[in-house]
Amino acid sequence: MMILLEWDSIAFLAFACASFLFIWFETNAVYEYLNFFNIGGKYLHGYNEYKKKDYSLLFFIPYLLVNHNCFFTKLICCSICIGFWVNIIFNLLFFSIYNIPFSFILSLLIYYSITLLKRNMEK
């Protein structure tokens, strides 16, 4: 039995996951949406106080890791971990399970390339 890989699906999923990872880790969009929809209670309140007090540039996701250190925050603060689970969920729901290794590696490669370009442009 020969397994045919769907390279267009792999590329689409890799770019979608890389975009998700970039928005998740390199912007404050998570905080803004949680704040807009009034979800997150004590975590948002703590982050708001932290921003007022320290005028920090620390985004919401790293703030959670520093101030609420538990397994779940470690999981959502790890780009490899969250990228892996996002790839698995989307491949199981919409694509083929055989695409997982390729889409996962390609999405991390794209995400880290974009992050590296962003950091080089900021210098």
Domain ranges of the chain: 13-116
Model confidence pTM above 0.85: no
- Mean pLDDT of the 4-32 span: 85
Instruction: For residues 94 and 73, give the distance between their C-alpha atoms in angstroms, rounded to a whole number.
Output: 27
What value does the CA radius of gyration of the chain take, rounded to a whole number of Å?
A: 17
Report residue 56's pLDDT band, with 50, 70 and 90 as the boundaries. low
Instruction: For residues 52 and 45, give the distance between their C-alpha atoms in angstroms, rounded to a whole number.
Output: 11
Per residue in 28-40, pLDDT (tens digit) is 888 788 778 777 6
Per residue in 94-114, pLDDT (tens digit) is 877 888 888 999 999 999 999
Instruction: For residues 89 and 104, give the distance between their C-alpha atoms in angstroms, rounded to a whole number.
Output: 11
Q: What is the DSSP letter of 4?
A: P
Q: By percentage, how much of the chain surpasses pLDDT 70?
A: 90
User: What was the pLDDT predicted at 108?
Assistant: 94
Tokens linked to 30:
């998570």
